């Protein structure tokens, strides 16, 4: 899973609180054209269940604890987002699922493009076929 990077950001502490940031050309390699966030998660319920053909994303959990699982159909990789300084930078093509492990968790996502349902693959068998045909895996 070389195309998914977990980066730990600096935490700039001050008496007023903490601040973290990431930038294009440093931690991420794309422009962010859309931001969305998932909140009021149903506890232990999974969501996601899709892959993106082209979309790149950066995601982090500003509050709470969320498990994020990726697969390319052969290997699985799971990440725990449990600190606002941890970000995941995700290239296109991975099947993903999310589970909230704490009430009130928020998943924040910066995406390289605007919403386009045609970029989604929502059927796992279709994904496996797409993955094989596109040979997108870095493994």
Binding residues for ligand TYD, rule: CB under 6 A, are 34, 36, 38, 47-48, 50, 115
Q: How far is CA 15 from the centre of its chain?
A: 31
Number of helices (H), then strands (E), belonging to the chain: the values are: 1, 12
Shortest reach from residue 17's CB to ligand TYD, in Å = 29
Shortest reach from residue 50's CB to ligand TYD, in Å = 6
38 in Cβ contact with 107 (< 8 Å): yes
Shortest reach from residue 117's CB to ligand TYD, in Å = 7
| Active-site residue, from 3, 5, 34, 50 | 50
Between 27 and 113, CB nearer to ligand TYD:
113
78 in Cβ contact with 23 (< 8 Å): no
Does 63 participate in catalysis according to the annotation? no
Give the residue ranges of DSSP H helices in the chain.
124-134
Give the residue numbers annotated as catalytic, written as ranges: 50
């Amino acid at each position: 899973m070389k195309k998914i990077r977990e980066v730990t950001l600096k935490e700039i502490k001050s008496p007023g609180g903490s601040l973290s940031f990431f930038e294009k050309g440093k931690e991420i390699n794309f422009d962010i054209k859309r931001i969305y966030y998932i909140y009021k998660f149903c506890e232990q319920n999974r969501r996601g269940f899709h892959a993106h053909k082209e979309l790149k994303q950066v995601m982090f959990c500003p509050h709470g604890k969320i498990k994020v699982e990726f697969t390319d159909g052969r290997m699985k990789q799971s990440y725990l987002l449990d600190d606002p300084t941890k970000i995941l930078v995700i290239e296109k093509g991975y099947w993903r699922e999310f589970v909230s492990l704490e009430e009130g968790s928020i998943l924040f996502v910066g995406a390289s493009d605007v919403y386009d349902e045609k970029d989604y693959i929502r059927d796992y068998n279709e994904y496996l076929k797409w993955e094989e045909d596109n040979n997108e895996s870095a493994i």
